[in-house]
Chains A and B, each alone.
Chain A
């Protein structure tokens, strides 16, 4: 290649980049984004010390919960349940073969019994109760219809969002199982979530149910009567919903653009709501930290401060859990445990 075309090419390249930069400076996309999330965060001193660190093989892990001081995590799409013991050793348990690991949507610790894990297989419409000590499934609940965001509220009763045939949205229902193992919808509420657009995290707090949206700052709280819904919001100011399109004669619904997460993970502990937010505030623009915002549930979800957590090997936290004044963070190859002072 001779000098002249080479230099001309370099000039064109630089010119293109300069035009892009000028456009960036003049257009308001970045500014609008910051204004949408335009807010300031304050640092919370809730973390007192690093307690433990466990190394794992590379994978995708979810934190299940804590049973008798053992942290339980699961390797997604595998039958592996890993117990992180107090003496820094790990124990791996394999789930029974009749549970397809790929069908597992979520695993949670049974709020009603020790040693029992609830295995939610949404696509197979099953919830299994698995005794981790006896290594056996002690009960299976087979649902007639698809369910989403299921919460067990008593021995044989569940709160779950089920499809509403008329509107094709999801509606909150109470489903009870009789002694023969058949499910019955005993109550259908007026609480409707537009499928995809209103997707979020559903948790129980005392007798209330808390719903945190993925794609905007909305927090909804339902009391035990399932009729009154109160609304609060996270610290950012993003209220818009992602847009969807319906294609193939209304049979397929998809997002018009890839939706941007506002709140990705959340946890309730000791009257506090912890939310892993993806929205950067004006005073914290660092790209190598994860943010967990803390809200006081008893005080109308008022903002109490944020935890700024340095990423490990540039990896975001894939899951977190707050329990017994411990903050457990899950990364692709590491589990990190912090002690929390909880004096906010």
Chain B
């Protein structure tokens, strides 16, 4: 039983860092190629063409805020909730792009640069499940 608990705890710990690293990677790649990020948003038929810079800043701020919240034990839970909804919006957005958009611009940079839009959906769905699981997991209480 003790072994199982420890295994579960380490699993949650691993998932926590997986989400953390993904967010960090996403932020760094967006910041390094901010112009490209805006230009890709510009090409999306779902955004307002004259406000893509503001949208880019909002997206980046949300990601930075979530990453900071993930860093502290007290705010972890809120970070998981944020991450869950961010991944959910991203998944919904990509689904709509695939279903309705007459063309597909470049997705984004960084880790997902080599992924197709379909593969991107699968990756996001995995992270929706992971962040959803982290929202509902209560490992710290179990540890106690």
Contact = CB atoms under 8 A, between A and B. Distances in A.
B96 A33 contact: no
B61 to A, nearest CB: 15
B135 A30 contact: no
Q: Is the interface of B mostly helix, strand, loop or mixed?
A: helix
Interface in A240-278: 256-258, 260
B84 A280 contact: no
Nearest to A18: B92
A76 to B, nearest CB: 16
A259 B43 CA distance: 10
Interface string A4-15: 011001101110
B89 interface: yes
A133 interface: no
A258 B85 contact: no
Contacts of B47: 20, 23
A13 B116 contact: no
B136 interface: yes
B124 interface: no
Given A13-B85, A256-B39, A258-B36, A23 B46 contact: yes
Contacts of B77: 1
A280 B102 contact: yes
A21 interface: yes
Contacts of B105: 258, 260
A285 interface: yes
B45 interface: yes
A29 B46 CA distance: 8
A23 B135 CA distance: 31
B110 to A, nearest CB: 15
A13 B85 CA distance: 6
B60 interface: no
Give chain A's interface residue range (CB within 8 Å of chain B): 20 to 34
B93 interface: yes
B102 A13 contact: no
A17 B49 contact: no
A277 to B, nearest CB: 12
B81 A5 contact: yes
A48 B101 CA distance: 33
A17 B47 CA distance: 11
A314 interface: yes
Interface in B87-108: 88-89, 92-93, 96, 98, 100-106
Contact of A23 (B36, B48, B85, B88): B48
A24 B45 contact: yes
A6 B96 CA distance: 23
Contacts of A12: 85
Given A27-B48, A33-B102, A257-B39, 7 more contacts: A13-B85, A20-B47, A30-B102, A34-B102, A256-B39, A257-B43, A260-B105
Interface of B: 36, 39-40, 42-49, 77, 81, 84-85, 88-89, 92-93, 96, 98, 100-106, 116, 118, 135-136
